[in-house]
Structure 1
């Protein structure tokens, strides 16, 4: 700790002591009730700190995620709370989150995801067009050197980079058709090769 940190800690300690002293003096005729309320607020404060500290663990356990069964070359993907299915693929050893879109023909990367996997959108030729819910956008064809989903690997896969704004990259039928079987059972999508 530096000198400034110690001074701030001492200031906060004195301020806390002054506030606690005021409460004790102003409520001296009902100290039992004040102690009970202080204990309740203390437990609420400790619970809030624990919740913030454990949030990443809670989020990991509550949010559904894909499961890869290597021996069977099968992937199970739970439906997300928003009703979509999301898959995380390793593209050139970089994890990329895709929204599964059975209405899309191709695999389409956002400009940000394209940059993350080693493609420079500034050097791509955006001469293709795609019709989306937001209108017509320009696209650039690319080849993805390596696409992996657990033990399932595809090389030299054709994809496109979208010039428009997209929240997530799209995983269309060009990739999904590489699986022998696609089925939906309850709230899960099951892909088998």
Structure 2
């Protein structure tokens, strides 16, 4: 710990002791009730910390996810920010995509490309794409396989984005493999 961190910790301990001491002095006639209230607040604090730590697991089990029907239809609930997300295995590696019907191609971030076995440093960034962040270089690639809910397609043309990207985009080179794309009742439906 640095000296500054030690000083901050000392300040917080002294502040906590002052607040705790004043609470004890103020409630010295009702120490039992004060201890009960302190225990309740401690449990609330522990509960909030536990819920925060487990939120990822809880939200995965509570919120609806993509699913496949027996007739080959895939349903995807609307996700955070109003987007639709699909989890597709690219070359055997799970990749989370934002469905983007305005994108003409499947666009991988450099991070997702690397995870799928493509070395972004060895690619030739010969194309350009207009994005919300301006023009970015792109490198054409061919994905061996894309597997969604047990159905494998491939090879599929894609590009690797040379700019900053948080999520990969699922564009029309993949979405065009479906006969119908429909959005109704906050659900995206892909039909073969």
TM over 0.5: yes
- Structure 1: unaligned runs, 5 residues or longer: 1-18
The answer to whether the aligner puts 1:173 opposite 2:172 as a matched pair is: yes
CA distance in structure 1 between the partners assigned to 2:91 and 2:120 by the alignment: 16
Scaled by the length of structure 2, the TM-score of the pair is 0.81
Q: CA-to-partner distance for each residue in 1:105-142, whole Å, 9 max, x for gaps?
A: 11111111111100011111111122222222211111
CA distance in structure 1 between the partners assigned to 2:24 and 2:83 by the alignment: 58
CA distance in structure 1 between the partners assigned to 2:84 and 2:188 by the alignment: 7
CA distance in structure 1 between the partners assigned to 2:158 and 2:145 by the alignment: 12
- CA shift, 1:57, in A, is 3.0
Task: Extract structure 1 runs of 4+ deviating beyond 6 A.
Answer: 22-25
CA distance in structure 2 between the partners assigned to 1:56 and 1:81 by the alignment: 13
User: How much is the aligned-residue C-alpha RMSD, in angstroms?
Assistant: 2.3
Scaled by the length of structure 1, the TM-score of the pair is 0.80
**How has the CA–CA distance of structure 1 residues 49 and 167 changed in structure 2, closer, same or farther, with 3 Å as cutoff?**
closer
- Structure 2: unaligned runs, 5 residues or longer: 1-16
Q: CA-to-partner distance for each residue in 1:74-111, whole Å, 9 max, x for gaps?
A: 21111113011111110111001111111111111111
- CA shift, 1:152, in A, is 1.5
> How many residues matched?
174
8 Å contact kept, 1:108–1:169: yes
